[in-house]
Structure 1
Amino acid sequence: MSLSHSDPTYNDLLRTHPAVTADPQKGLMVGSVALSTLAEEVGTPCWVINAETLRLRAQLMQQAFTDASLPVTCHFAVKSQDNQACLTVLGQAGWGADVVSGGELERALAAGIPADKIVFSGVGKTDDELKLAITHDIAQVNVESAEELHRLNGLAQQMERTIRVSLRVNPDVDAKTHSKITTGRAEDKFGIAYTDIPSLYRTAQRDMQGLNVRGLAVHLGSQISTEEPFRQGYTQLAKMVTTLRQDGLSVEDIDCGGGLGITYRNEIAPAPAMLAQVMADIFGALDVNLRVEPGRWLSAPAGVLLSRVIDTKQGTHQFVILDAAMSELVRPAMYDSWHGILPVHLPDAEAATSPVDVVGPVCESSDTFAKQRMLPPLKRNDLVAILDAGAYGSTMSSTYNSRPFAAQIMVDGDQWAVIRPRQTLEDLLACEKTPHWFTQGA
């Protein structure tokens, strides 16, 4: 992604992140609720997600396909944000779910998303997870290997059922994004090699009685900012559709995956209209049912991580130490990702900024949110909002250093509610047991 030479300012970030607004008296707001109020009522660190933003972005994505005259079924990538309240909001907006585990499948069902709107992806589905998909008769399973295909067929026949499947193609296309979130190269673990698809598809459709083979699927990676990777990957799929049909095989569905990028820093993030146009250009005349599976694009801008300054520390660098840590938001440590950081109190227009390292309290050098970030003065007990934390934030949280899970809050206009209570240390310890022989005779 192309970046400018300097980081965005406070006002730049507010302009590019409309889910967060500034009130002269109350400071930063999510919806019509002051973040300072949430910090006082619920404590920090905590996740805050804006239901209005989820709805708006869901509608914008759907509208892009409507404007392109392209019927598409939308499935939200649950791995990006799996809270029941968030899934309920998107389900009510007409979205299905893309899941990558049995747990996510159960979450989607519990949130009221119908089984026939659930797609199951993922490279390592267990037999129990595949049986769960068969039992619920979900929309389809995106099969990632020949081995999985044979296992799924055997299980379906044992259960005297059939299950709809698509074969996930690995098109060997580089998405030109971070290596750890690229999934469509030949060396990546995902999908079936492009050259292996014709024979496997033929065998599955003609000989595997437990399967209803519907079509092809692809997912190229995440945080993609240009149309080129989409065009390359989708063109490969379109060619494969032609090849399969010439062999007398039916291809009814194409699952296009997700991956549309957002603006974290100064990236020029594409609009959904770009994705819709690429899909229309390539698949519009193929007479196939289309699916998409965005996650980050919907949920990341809808959420912030609200944190309080524990202390500041002067050394070779000036440090601002937060009560949030990599145990809450691991993306900077894992991907060197950049997240906007805004003081919740509005800084004085004349306040000078200075470079600081924003870090957490966990005993790892990688527990760092930002290095040499230009920020206005921050002092003990000040609040900050870490932006674009609605995707791959709470879902990747851990309890490292015996730090209980943070609370999660949903804001909807002027209403707010805790949608995941803060875990207590007692809750955390209650999950553990000491072997009985340690206490015998004590």
Structure 2
Amino acid sequence: MLISQQLLERPMAGGRPFALTALRHPTVSTLLADHRVLLADLLHGLGSPLHIVLPEIFEENVVRLRRAFADAGVTADILFAKKANKADCYVASAASLGLGVDVAGAPELVKALAGGVPGHRIGISGPEKDDALHALAVQHGCLVAVDSISELRRLAATARLAGRQVSVLLRSRTVGQPGSRFGMSAAEREAAVGLCAELADSMSLRGFSFHLNGYSTAERATAANEMIEHCLDARQRGLLAADLVNIGGGLPVCYVEPRLWDAFLAQDQPAHYHAAKDFKDFYPYGGQSATQAIRAIMAHPVDGDEGLAAKAGRHGVRFVVEPGRALLDQAGFTLYGVQQVDDRRDTDGYAIVTVAGSSFSLSEQWFSSDYLPDPLLISAQPTADELFPACVAGSTCLESDMVTWRKIGFPRPVRRGDHLVYLNTAGYQMDSNESPFHDAALPMKAVIRLGEGEAPPRWRLDGI
């Protein structure tokens, strides 16, 4: 059943340290409330940290995004951005729903194909791809985004050698981000369009794509409009198949109640973090949802009062979108076992909770930031309620290995043997940075689906 945003649990602000409680999908709430023994057994048997992945919620998100594009009056091919999570179960869900996958290298392409996604639903967007990846893309009929004229020539040679025609997008720099390392300048794009006309026997120019940083819906709509104009120009030059505009990813996810997020930002300061860590930027945890962003992008006026969706429809242009985080919203969480507690409340005013594992399994530090939604405490031996300020550290030898720099106001003292639950970690958090540092095994992923009626949840290891 599709779950609306209004049915998610919505926390209230209050207390110090600031309570920044995550929104929670009903399926997640059911697992945490009714199946704690199962989760504890899985953590004990499979090790800490343990990632719980929930493909049913991924599938709900696919339905929700498809509906949002349909409501906006546009045709959009959705490609799941594989880089957002390595779990095989999400690719299997994508294949079962007829969804495409966006990949950036041969290993991701092989996994997408092995998961049942046909080549014609796979987009390849990595910069300056090597010849081996080109050969796979040509063989399986993938859509290839090309970053330079030199890559375009190499890809054409590969297609010619294989006796096939490859479908391409030309990735172009936008007016708003001319310094991007991705894509072609205006002069390069013009030359590349001409080259596509010359090499029409081995490649078909299907349209244009771009790369943007950030979550500005106005900027993304403006960039998409630029690409529509490039399609129209290419058609005038005889390349009539140019009917696709890839708007990339960048669909935001709302992790916490927006009013709570605004209140958090208003009071935030370095003193609220271990070692007075001063972060300059955070993910917009309480901003727009993906569906709100889709509506804003498609309705954005680009030619006078005409919205982007209307212009695309008028010219027969279809959109390609590459959401990762938005399809993984609420579709997984991470469990850590508490290994030790250094209670410094008498001296520093807070404790340091050390978990079995590291911050490599919560990847926000890759962006020089902190993962801000509060972790949940599951106590092995519940104690009386008592505000317990603490930050959370990993068990490596790195001073910077802080899973949570921010001081969390746990509702009771944290003890060795307790469990911490980090919610909504499937999108980019749980495995982007994981490595076998200290010769530790990579954390496992347990795939869980709730049973029908009174049946218990079913679980398996991902990839098996």
TM-score, normalised relative to structure 2? 0.78
Q: Measured at CA, do residues 18 and 195 of structure 1 come closer, stay the same or move farther in structure 2, by a change above 3 Å?
A: farther
Q: Which residue of 1 aligns with 2:391?
A: 357
Q: Is 1:333–1:367's contact at 8 Å kept on the other side of the alignment?
A: no
Give the Cα separation in 1 of the matches to 2:178 and 2:153.
22
**1:342-381, aligned counterparts within 5 Å?**
342-345=376-379, 351-371=385-405, 372-376=407-411, 377-381=413-417
Aligned letter for 2:28? V
Equivalent in 298, 303, 307 of residue 332 of structure 2: 303
Give the Cα separation in 2 of the matches to 1:133 and 1:390.
27
CA RMSD of aligned residues (A): 2.8
1:274-301 superposed Cα distances (whole Å, 9 cap, x missing partner): 3155236312322023211101111252
Give the Cα separation in 1 of the matches to 2:75 and 2:381.
47
Q: Is 1:19–1:301's contact at 8 Å kept on the other side of the alignment?
A: no
Q: Which residue of 1 aligns with 2:351?
A: 318
Matched, 1:81 2:116: no
Give the Cα separation in 2 of the matches to 1:192 and 1:347.
59
Q: Measured at CA, do residues 420 and 359 of structure 1 come closer, stay the same or move farther in structure 2, by a change above 3 Å?
A: farther
Give the Cα separation in 1 of the matches to 2:124 and 2:35.
36
Equivalent in 429, 440, 455 of residue 403 of structure 1: 440
Q: Measured at CA, do residues 296 and 157 of structure 1 come closer, stay the same or move farther in structure 2, by a change above 3 Å?
A: same
Give the Cα separation in 2 of the matches to 1:273 and 1:349.
42
Q: Which residue of 1 aligns with 2:29?
A: 21
Q: Is 1:134–1:161's contact at 8 Å kept on the other side of the alignment?
A: yes
Give the Cα separation in 2 of the matches to 1:384 and 1:194.
50
Q: Is 1:219–1:257's contact at 8 Å kept on the other side of the alignment?
A: yes
Q: CA offset at residue 168 of structure 1?
A: 1.0
Q: Which residue of 2 aligns with 1:220?
A: 212
Give the Cα separation in 2 of the matches to 1:349 and 1:188.
53
Give the Cα separation in 1 of the matches to 2:221 and 2:58.
27
Give the Cα separation in 1 of the matches to 2:17 and 2:27.
20
Q: Which residue of 1 aligns with 2:244?
A: 253
Q: Is 1:20–1:28's contact at 8 Å kept on the other side of the alignment?
A: no
Segment of structure 1 superposing worse, 202-211 or 69-78 = 202-211
Equivalent in 281, 287, 291 of residue 268 of structure 1: 287
Give the Cα separation in 2 of the matches to 1:86 and 1:17.
18
Q: Which residue of 1 aligns with 2:203?
A: 211
Q: Which residue of 1 aligns with 2:194?
A: 202
Q: Is 2:72–2:298's contact at 8 Å kept on the other side of the alignment?
A: no
1:118-174 superposed Cα distances (whole Å, 9 cap, x missing partner): 111110311111011111122x1011111111111112112222111010122143x
Give the Cα separation in 1 of the matches to 2:381 and 2:57.
25
Give the Cα separation in 2 of the matches to 1:346 and 1:234.
52
Q: Which residue of 2 aligns with 1:433?
A: none
Matched, 1:383 2:447: no
Q: Which residue of 2 aligns with 1:142?
A: 145
Aligned letter for 2:335? L
Give the Cα separation in 2 of the matches to 1:80 and 1:56.
17
Q: Is 1:65–1:273's contact at 8 Å kept on the other side of the alignment?
A: no
Q: Measured at CA, do residues 346 and 310 of structure 1 come closer, stay the same or move farther in structure 2, by a change above 3 Å?
A: closer
Segment of structure 1 superposing worse, 146-155 or 194-203 = 194-203
Q: Measured at CA, do residues 146 and 347 of structure 1 come closer, stay the same or move farther in structure 2, by a change above 3 Å?
A: farther
Segment of structure 1 superposing worse, 197-206 or 290-299 = 197-206
Q: Is 1:19–1:302's contact at 8 Å kept on the other side of the alignment?
A: no
Give the Cα separation in 1 of the matches to 2:325 and 2:189.
29
Matched, 1:337 2:340: no
Q: Which residue of 2 aligns with 1:181?
A: none
Equivalent in 311, 323, 327 of residue 294 of structure 1: 323
Q: Measured at CA, do residues 353 and 232 of structure 1 come closer, stay the same or move farther in structure 2, by a change above 3 Å?
A: farther
Matched, 1:133 2:137: yes
1:58-77 superposed Cα distances (whole Å, 9 cap, x missing partner): 11011111222322111101
Q: Which residue of 2 aligns with 1:429?
A: none
Give the Cα separation in 1 of the matches to 2:382 and 2:175.
51
Q: Measured at CA, do residues 236 and 344 of structure 1 come closer, stay the same or move farther in structure 2, by a change above 3 Å?
A: farther
Matched, 1:122 2:126: yes
Give the Cα separation in 1 of the matches to 2:41 and 2:94.
26
SS at match of 1:260: coil
Q: CA offset at residue 114 of structure 1?
A: 1.0
Q: CA offset at residue 332 of structure 1?
A: 2.5
Give the Cα separation in 1 of the matches to 2:247 and 2:17.
33
Q: Measured at CA, do residues 332 and 387 of structure 1 come closer, stay the same or move farther in structure 2, by a change above 3 Å?
A: farther
1:217-236 superposed Cα distances (whole Å, 9 cap, x missing partner): 123236x2x42222222122
TM-score, normalised relative to structure 1? 0.82
Give the Cα separation in 1 of the matches to 2:196 and 2:249.
26
Aligned letter for 2:128? G
Q: Is 2:152–2:192's contact at 8 Å kept on the other side of the alignment?
A: no
Give the Cα separation in 2 of the matches to 1:390 and 1:99.
17
Q: Measured at CA, do residues 279 and 147 of structure 1 come closer, stay the same or move farther in structure 2, by a change above 3 Å?
A: farther
Q: Which residue of 1 aligns with 2:19?
A: 9
Give the Cα separation in 2 of the matches to 1:339 and 1:17.
18
Unmatched 5+ stretches in structure 1: 174-184, 422-442
Q: Measured at CA, do residues 37 and 9 of structure 1 come closer, stay the same or move farther in structure 2, by a change above 3 Å?
A: farther
Aligned length: 398
Unmatched 5+ stretches in structure 2: 1-12, 262-285, 300-306, 451-456
Q: Is 1:253–1:288's contact at 8 Å kept on the other side of the alignment?
A: yes
Segment of structure 1 superposing worse, 304-313 or 85-94 = 85-94
Q: Which residue of 2 aligns with 1:419?
A: 462
Q: Is 1:339–1:386's contact at 8 Å kept on the other side of the alignment?
A: no
Q: Which residue of 1 aligns with 2:453?
A: none
1:352-373 superposed Cα distances (whole Å, 9 cap, x missing partner): 4343121101121221121222
SS at match of 1:214: strand
